[in-house]
Structure 1
Amino acid sequence: MRVVLILLAAALPFAALAHVPEPAAPVASLWQWNLAPWLLALLAVSAAGYGLGLRRLWGQAGRGRGVSTWQAWAFATGWLAVVGALVSPLDPLGGRLFSAHMVQHELLMVVAAPLLVVGRPLATWTWALSPSQRRTVGRLFQVRGWASLWTTLTDPLVAWALHALVLWGWHIPGAFDAALENEALHILQHASFLVTALFFWWAVLGHDPRGRYGPGHSAAYLFTTMMHTAALGALLSLSPTAWYAPYIPRTAALGFDPVDDQQLGGLVMWVPAGMAYIVAALWVLGGMLTRTKA
């Protein structure tokens, strides 16, 4: 049976720019790194811009002013989480094991996104620009259309709904299968998970531009997100059949049962990812209590 599955995997057609190595490729290829130039360039620019901005900000205001040391470390840790998800050998492994793919997604959504938001990247990046460039960027952000779009996307309810829609939408078997087979869709999938997660965490961690929502609202959004992501994780974990057809030959070729692998991936979304939302909600409520006592 294993020989049949390996032959089926080898026969699957893939585009020349497929995101995942061919199913019949040697297991050793799983330990390759994703060194796509555009991805490395984006990561390098984001890190360099943050570092330069932080240096200029602290040079003028003093170390720890504007952006604290722990916030800078939060950004660095979040940046490394993105590298771990998209550049490390976890990336090719995610193309063959659903559980590894879920680890990728959770690294982006519940590790990298909140840490990057806590690091105050937008404010820090602007300090990497010259004073005249900062003024130009400031004027652009004040343009009515852009300001309205930004206010809408960072509204907690909108950010919550958008993130939930993207999460559930991409896990529909047809959409997930298409992303596994097409490089552009796979990039879009990961980008949409990260970007909507950034808006979500931006909103619930106290960056509501209208000031209409307090810590209690943020805790509610975190709790409900934990509930619906846990529901999706439970559906994946308790399903007796594999949802995603491309994984069946790929996972079997590595000697793993596709259903067991899917159930493990569901548990990753259900338990550790759910705990992240609970911890964040407690942190938000703890901050509220601290301010109340003060």
Structure 2
Amino acid sequence: MALERMRTLGALIFLLMMARQAAAHGAEAHLFHSIWTIDPWIGTPLAIIAFLYGRGSWKLWRRTGRSRSVMAKRAICYWAGWLTLAGALLSPLHWLGEQVFTFHMIEHEIIMAVSAPMIVIARPAGLFLWGMPDQLRRWTGRAMRRGTVRSVWRWLSGGTNATLLHAVAIWAWHAPALFDAAVDDVALHRLQHLSFFATAVLFWWSVFWCSNHGVAAWHLFLTMLHTGALGALMALAPRVLYVEQTHAAATWGLTPLEDQQLAGMVMWIPAGTIYAGAALVLAALWIANAGRGVDHVQRIRPL
């Protein structure tokens, strides 16, 4: 039965890899020429992590008793993050983002400010391991326990480093020349999304699991400030900065400058509200702990 499932998964991956891609603005292929995107370099990793998490959850669910409620809460967070990530990258929202800068910005903010924190809260690494074949799970577990791997992970997920890496990814990819290049080059476009998601995972991991409440609130506040500043620069710019990204705006009843301004507003206000809200919650927890005389490092409590 397991072998048959693996064959089915392999056949699906093969079909995805054979999908034809259009070579033009927004070069990802669309399923049956519809507004749903089929890109093997996105769909395949999403399918793999869904399969591993689902298999790992099923295996542990049968072995656990009291902790099933904890598993259920984590599963809700994980699948909420996975579904929003898949929706942002494969649904009509992605197709709209190829046409309109505003929708492209909404896609990016979902990836960084919704999907990434939900998946991080779920802490899925253990279930990914349980979803692997036994030999691969043991090898991966040993590799993860190595001192070098642990040191690299601690450095990457440290509060200051993770915040800086995420900031560099956001500002670098929003340089007009690089952003427009990613619109026309599908490989760059994939790398852009991967950079946003990977650094967002590091950032939110540092916020939830590696910092005390006060430090985490500070890093969220800094991220709100610099992303808000970038959004304001786009929204208040007197001329079009992203020529390729906004060239189809007229088809949707917008001028290129209006499209850029709306995209900037999305980054500036709705996304900033998420960071500000999370920072306020953590600041409140920090103050409450201080009032109770708790002076040791306080992290977000596991679900």
CA RMSD of aligned residues (A): 2.3
**TM-score, normalisation: structure 2:** 0.81
In 1, the alpha carbon distance for the partners of 2:188 and 2:253 equals: 27
User: How far has the Cα of 1:66 moved from its partner?
Assistant: 8.7
C-alpha displacement of 1:68: 3.6
Higher RCO (CA < 8 A, seq sep 6+): 1
Could you tell me whether the CA contact under 8 Å between 1:170 and 1:176 is conserved in 2?
Answer: yes
Q: Within 5 Å, give how 1:196-215 maps onto structure 2.
A: 196-206=199-209, 208=210, 213-215=211-213
SS at match of 1:73: helix
Matches of 2:96 and 2:67, distance apart in 1: 39
Pairing 1:236–2:234 present = yes
Match of 1:178 among 169, 178, 181: 181
Q: What is the match of residue 144 of structure 1?
A: 147
Structure 1 residues 284 and 58 mapped into 2: Cα distance closer, same or farther (>3 Å)? Answer: farther
Corresponding residue for residue 270 of structure 2: 272
Cα shift at 1:42: 1.5
The structural deviation recorded for 1:188 is 0.4
Could you tell me which amino acid in structure 2 is paired with residue 122 of structure 1?
Answer: A
Percent identity of equivalent pairs: 41
Match of 1:100 among 91, 103, 127: 103
Contact preservation (8 Å) 1:57, 1:66: no
Q: Which runs of 5+ in 2 are unaligned?
A: 1-20, 295-303
Describe how 1:77-88 pairs up with structure 2 within 5 A: 77-88=80-91
Residues 22-44 of structure 1 deviation map (CA, whole Å, 9 limit, x = unaligned): 9xxxxxx7x61111233222212
CA distance in 1, matches of 2:69, 2:138: 18
The residue that corresponds to 1:45 in the other structure is 48
Q: Which ranges in structure 1 are unaligned for 5 or more consecutive residues? A: 1-14, 23-28
Match for residue 116 of structure 2 among 113, 117, 125: 113
**Paired residue secondary structure (1:33):** coil
Distance 2:26 2:37 in 1: 10
Q: Determine if contact 2:233/2:264 at 8 Å carries over to the other structure.
A: yes
Q: Once the 2 structures are TM-superposed, how far is the Cα of residue 129 of structure 1 from its aligned partner?
A: 3.1
Instruction: Give, in angstroms, the shift of residue 105 of structure 1.
Output: 0.3
2:202 maps to a residue whose letter is: F
Pick one of 251, 254, 275 that aligns with 1:253.
251
Q: Confirm or deny: 8 A CA contact 1:237 1:265 kept in the other structure.
A: yes
Question: Are the structure 2 counterparts of residues 246 and 63 from structure 1 closer, same or farther at C-alpha, using a change threshold of 3 Å?
Answer: farther
* Gap change, CA 1:286 and 1:134, over 3 Å in 2: farther
